[in-house]
Amino acid sequence: MSTESFVEPSPTPLALLLLGRGADPESERGVECPGDLPAASDPDLVARAQAAKAALGDRVFVLGHHYQRDEVIAFADVTGDSFKLARDAAARPEAEFIVFAGVHFMAESADILTGPGQAVLLPDLAAGCSMADMAAISQVEDAWDVLADAGITDVTIPITYMNSTAAIKAFTGRNRGAVCTSSNAKPALEWAFEQGEKVFFLPDQHLGRNTAVLELGLSLEDCVVYDPFRPQGGLSVEQLRAAKVILWKGHCSVHGRFTASAVADVRERVPGVNVLVHPECQHEVVLAADYVGSTEFIIKTLDAAPAGSAWAIGTELNLVKRLALAHPDKQVVFLEKTVCFCATMNRIDLPHLVWMLENLVAGTVVNRIEVDHDVAHWARIALDRMLALPGVGAAPKD
């Protein structure tokens, strides 16, 4: 790797402090993490984590999301995207404790998919997801009422991205819809258009728009954006009736930051560069890029790329850093010049992991994520509809 191929920016401590504060158990916003955390400066943290994990043995299974910090990934039994990790946990029924190094909606999905004898734990309850936070269940139910008043709920199928709360997944399941991931959004939308005439896509407007326009051949005019903070979503009855896709006004605060000008800039800085971005990026960024796909697609594309090739990656910075290190024969650069960590994902750090593992060794189960039975039932139905999509059940990805 060339020395100029990767420059690690400084983290943004202010954003880390601001995000996740406050107590709002009805949403993805975090609550206080109880107990005394080890100091981040403790030189024995690695040894303490190793000792606690060894003491727990097969009773604990640690899941590490691709966007996690290196210090946490080092203790993961398996890494992957959120849906793969949830399924990995379900495939380890002997593991009594599933420690999810990810964010809250991921732990909810793992709880839904794992057995009753398994406890899913989140090392820091403040590790939420800004995208999932943008669709509160009360807002979505209000929006459904607006669609009902417009007379279109009978022909509208909700599709929710995996990155949503269990309550939104349950709403989707109750209303004949399905969950999707970033790699199966196309078959999910195709399925929805076989069931009805319109799609209500939650909560990521960019994934919905990119899939509808670039993969299904719909036009931008076929899509409208429902803003939950405006009366009737900011849309007229005529607009709702004319739309084919009603996009919820949500986005990922990480992928939404990439810009088309950053694509133009990197093409100037790195001649011959291939621009590879995640479909949570804005439509104009995806249009300007060379390739678009899920985190698993990004990893596989880098694996298959020839030595000497150059890549600008538009996804979370922890993953891009590891890709750069894993491919010293290729030039791997981060698409933006500014920091683009997932601040809430980064709340899971080694002190929290040590705190959790040592509590488990002492017999105290902390930060358990449990989804209400009825919510889990309907969310599972929406997840199962995704698994029944053609070609999806074998290897769904987020």
Q: In terms of CB distance, is 257 or 380 closer to ligand SF4?
A: 257
Q: In terms of CB distance, is 92 or 209 closer to ligand SF4?
A: 209
C-alpha dist (Å) from residue 361 to 61, 118, 270: 13, 16, 50
SS3 302: helix
Residues 6 or more apart from 189 whose CB is under 8 A from it?
A: 159, 180, 199, 201, 211, 212, 215, 216, 245
Q: In terms of CB distance, is 133 or 358 closer to ligand SF4?
A: 133
Shortest Å distance, C-beta 100 to ligand SF4: 12
Shortest Å distance, C-beta 27 to ligand SF4: 13
Q: In terms of CB distance, is 203 or 330 closer to ligand SF4?
A: 203
Contact between 77 and 99 under an 8 Å Cβ cutoff? The reply is: no
Shortest Å distance, C-beta 264 to ligand SF4: 24
Shortest Å distance, C-beta 126 to ligand SF4: 13
Shortest Å distance, C-beta 8 to ligand SF4: 18
Rounded to 10 deg, the angle between the 45-56 and 350-361 helix axes is 40
Residues that bind ligand SF4 (CB under 6 A): 67, 103, 129-131, 163, 252-254, 316, 342, 344-345
Enumerate the β-bridge partners of residue 334. 313
222 burial level (CB within 10 Å; 0-12, 13-18, 19+):
middle
Shortest Å distance, C-beta 346 to ligand SF4: 9
Q: In terms of CB distance, is 67 or 171 closer to ligand SF4?
A: 67
Q: How far apart are CA 1 and CA 333, in angstroms?
A: 10
Q: How far apart are CA 152 and CA 156, in angstroms?
A: 6
Q: In terms of CB distance, is 173 or 279 closer to ligand SF4?
A: 279
